[in-house]
Structure 1
């Protein structure tokens, strides 16, 4: 497993990183997005979805919990997931995400609510707000991601 970090100066830089992630994303991938409220998790996911071809701005899946996107709307099927509202880690299994990931990539906000190590093969991205408003992105990339992350600029 490799790790590292980088600074994202603003929302545009966060979306640009999302576009770089979209270039290497494929069905079966899981990307977990951690960080506090307002840290940029949804902005990063929106950058991915926009780069995959989504014409409109993706809504936050906070209330839907799982927001699916399928071709031709996007070039790779994606489930944008927000586990914030789950009360118990056992509820994750009821969402059917493990089966769905065979045909789609998962972008999972608040993945820690699934329990520690739920997606051991995920690219784990953690965003933190810095005093100047920029974001620090820290990542852990398992072996399956080492050739793809971080993506080229």
Structure 2
């Protein structure tokens, strides 16, 4: 898939883990089956913390932990909504190894979140959220939410840090 669709970015400053989970919950409110969310940021930035909030918002079975060693985990919906497929691409060598996971087979019925997905997973969906997280010395985070494709046009633009506390 190509990256020719429209893009738009929102930047939010997040002060706490609680606020990071709230951001995940706010994103969950906008997701639906078939959506792809790519997370990037250094170790300890808050990618899994964000995903925990997303999972809570989707009301899927937990606990949600980093899938670094499992590579992928599926969290079934508890309420008849989409499942959450949580992938960690950190140890994968590239798009070919991600393709070996056969994620496309179940993506239509799930929300798929891929940590360390930038540069590896964009081909999975022309419409996606690309969320980058930078953690600062004071533990605040700058979160950039890049909306790629028509599916995300006009969503999540009004997020503010005040809403996340």
C-alpha deviation, 1:144, in angstroms:
1.1
How many equivalent pairs are there?
A: 152
Match in the other structure for 1:72: 78
C-alpha deviation, 1:132, in angstroms:
1.3
- Structure 1 residue matching 2:137: 3-state secondary structure: coil
Match in the other structure for 1:149: 156
Structure 1 runs not aligned, ≥5 long: none
- Structure 2 residue matching 1:112: 3-state secondary structure: coil
C-alpha deviation, 1:77, in angstroms:
1.1
Match in the other structure for 1:130: 136
Distance 1:97 1:9, change over 3 A: same
C-alpha deviation, 1:120, in angstroms:
3.6
Contact 1:49 1:74 in 2 (8 A): no
CA distance in 1, matches of 2:111, 2:89: 16
Structure 2 runs not aligned, ≥5 long: 1-6
Match in the other structure for 1:91: 97
- Structure 1 residue matching 2:29: 3-state secondary structure: helix
Contact 1:124 1:141 in 2 (8 A): yes
Match in the other structure for 1:121: 127
CA distance in 1, matches of 2:89, 2:48: 12
Structure 2 length as normaliser, TM-score? 0.83
The RMSD of aligned alpha carbons is: 1.9
Distance 1:74 1:83, change over 3 A: farther
